[in-house]
Chain A
Amino acid sequence: MDEKELMARLAGLEEPAVLATIVSAKGSTPRKTGARMLIGREGVLAGTVGGGCGEGEVIAAAQGLFEGGPPATVRVDLTDDFTSWSPAVCGGIMNVFIERANPERFGGG
């Protein structure tokens, strides 16, 4: 899915979703600043912030926002990820900002 398609998906979201964006990255990260991912209650809807490399942490943190948590920056440190079997080359640090993409669809909270 290219950037424009992801943007279209984001603009047309009907279910509540969390948007994760790499807002800064240092070193060898699989995706760069500006990469985006949409996460629903059941998991990833579209996009990626780097696959195996730290993406799980971001998805887990996103769940908190469905429970009323505030927007936050998740710091993903891939420099110790030597045991990863991911084909992506990891070895950097990235800051991923997570926020409710469409607060109006979250109902009450």
Chain B
Amino acid sequence: MRISAAQVAARVLEALEKGERIHTAVVVDAPDRSLIGRRWWLSGRRTRGTLGSPALDEAVAAAVPSLFPPRESRGALSRDFEYSEGGSTVTARVYLELHGPPARMVIVGAGHIAIPLARMGAMLGMRVEVLDDRPEFAAALRFPDAAAVRVIDFRDPFAATPLGPWDHVILVTRGHSFDYECLVRLLRMEAPPGYVGMIGSRRRVRATHEQLAREGFTTADMNRVRAPVGLDLGGQTPAEIAVAVVAEIILFHAGGTGAPLVEKERVVERFFGGATGRRAVAARGGRSADVRGTGTQTNGD
């Protein structure tokens, strides 16, 4: 059956409304031109439409899990798929999209770090949820950007917050016994959150890990937790610490190095000969060594 882009869009909106993941596909190039524009979607075990060949539908469905990692909530890419048609192997180019519920940031501990963290999580487009056992802290008024603020019991902190691989959990509780209760739950989950971070001094992290070790958790388990959480930016204030945490989350998804771009790109050193660059450019242009002037002057030569 032939389905249109408009029909697929309606189905995507319905899936997002229900918090379901949906993959869509459309043939953008194929030797058999009649396949171009054929569409198909897949959500859980439900599927509708066809790319024009059952063998191609099957090849694409099989590739979907590896093309879109479970922690991602959005994706768009094109790939060539080989499939057999009438005894020979043919290749079709298919464009695929993933639409899923937005990534979530679950902040455990509604203290002073949680406030900038919640704002920044929302700025990154995440659904932010804040949990604490103190109603005066876990108050919606303190977190205008949060989608949910919950008063919890640390004996079962995630009872009302089912977690999955696309979630980011950040532990900023007021004590390591609370961190510990959370970590035990998180580490025992069948499908743990993709990102688990815990704030704390070296001493506090160590105390929590010692308790985990006594409970039989391995170092491999401990290594699944980013503790202390965040990049080493040297900041001290709650907002600065929150920047360090969200920077690590961006790094986690985008796969950068975390190093300053100036060190990575070394533009001056590579293109202007390092420390002598100013003089070299000036000599070539035969003009002033003034940095502000050199660029335009040499361009004009």
Nearest neighbor of B6 in chain A, beta-carbon distance:
A102
Chain B neighbourhood of A34, CB < 8 A: 74-76, 97
Provide the bound-state CA to CA distance between A33 and B78, in Å.
9
Provide the bound-state CA to CA distance between A95 and B80, in Å.
14
Contact A11/B76 with A97-B28, A101-B6, A103-B4 known, Cβ cut-off 8 Å: no
Contacting pair A71 B95 (CB below 8 A): no
Q: Is B262 an interface residue (CB 8 A)?
A: no
Q: Is B251 an interface residue (CB 8 A)?
A: no
Q: Is B59 an interface residue (CB 8 A)?
A: no
Nearest neighbor of B74 in chain A, beta-carbon distance:
A34
Contacting pair B4 A104 (CB below 8 A): yes
Contacting pair A7 B37 (CB below 8 A): no
Q: Is A23 an interface residue (CB 8 A)?
A: yes
Contact A11/B33 with A21-B95, A73-B28, A97-B26 known, Cβ cut-off 8 Å: no
Binds A, one of B7-15, B105-113, B213-221, B232-240: B7-15
Q: Is A10 an interface residue (CB 8 A)?
A: yes
Contact A99/B16 with A11-B9, A104-B4 known, Cβ cut-off 8 Å: no
Nearest neighbor of A96 in chain B, beta-carbon distance:
B28
Contacting pair B76 A33 (CB below 8 A): yes
Provide the bound-state CA to CA distance between A83 and B76, in Å.
30
Chain A neighbourhood of B9, CB < 8 A: 7-8, 10-11
Chain A neighbourhood of B12, CB < 8 A: 7
Chain A neighbourhood of B29, CB < 8 A: 73
**CB-contact partner of A11 in B6, B26, B75, under 8 A:** B6
Chain A neighbourhood of B124, CB < 8 A: none
Provide the bound-state CA to CA distance between A32 and B76, in Å.
9
CB distance from B215 to the nearest CB of A (A): 44
Chain A neighbourhood of B33, CB < 8 A: 70
CB interface residues, A 68-109, toward B, < 8 Å: 70-73, 95, 97, 99-104
Provide the bound-state CA to CA distance between A101 and B78, in Å.
19
Q: Is B291 an interface residue (CB 8 A)?
A: no
Chain A neighbourhood of B75, CB < 8 A: 34
CB distance from B253 to the nearest CB of A (A): 15
Provide the bound-state CA to CA distance between A3 and B203, in Å.
45
Contact A99/B37 with A4-B13, A33-B78 known, Cβ cut-off 8 Å: yes
Provide the bound-state CA to CA distance between A72 and B29, in Å.
8
Chain A neighbourhood of B64, CB < 8 A: none
Contacting pair B78 A102 (CB below 8 A): no
Chain B neighbourhood of A21, CB < 8 A: 95
Provide the bound-state CA to CA distance between A80 and B254, in Å.
29
Encoded as 1 (CB less than 8 Å from any A CB) or 0, chain B from 234 to 264 comes to 0000000000000000000000000000000
Q: Is B267 an interface residue (CB 8 A)?
A: no
Encoded as 1 (CB less than 8 Å from any A CB) or 0, chain B from 143 to 172 comes to 000000000000000000000000000000
CB interface residues, B 51-83, toward A, < 8 Å: 74-78
Encoded as 1 (CB less than 8 Å from any B CB) or 0, chain A from 1 to 26 comes to 00010011011010000010101100
Provide the bound-state CA to CA distance between A100 and B38, in Å.
11
CB distance from B79 to the nearest CB of A (A): 10
10 cross-chain CB contacts under 8 A: A11-B13, A19-B5, A23-B95, A24-B77, A33-B76, A70-B37, A73-B28, A95-B78, A102-B4, A102-B5
The list of the 8 closest CB pairs from A to B, nearest first, reads A34-B76, A11-B10, A71-B37, A10-B9, A23-B95, A11-B9, A102-B6, A24-B78
Please report B residues at the A interface, Cβ cutoff 8 Å.
Answer: 4-7, 9-10, 12-13, 16, 26, 28-29, 33, 36-37, 74-78, 95, 97
Please report A residues at the B interface, Cβ cutoff 8 Å.
Answer: 4, 7-8, 10-11, 13, 19, 21, 23-24, 32-34, 70-73, 95, 97, 99-104
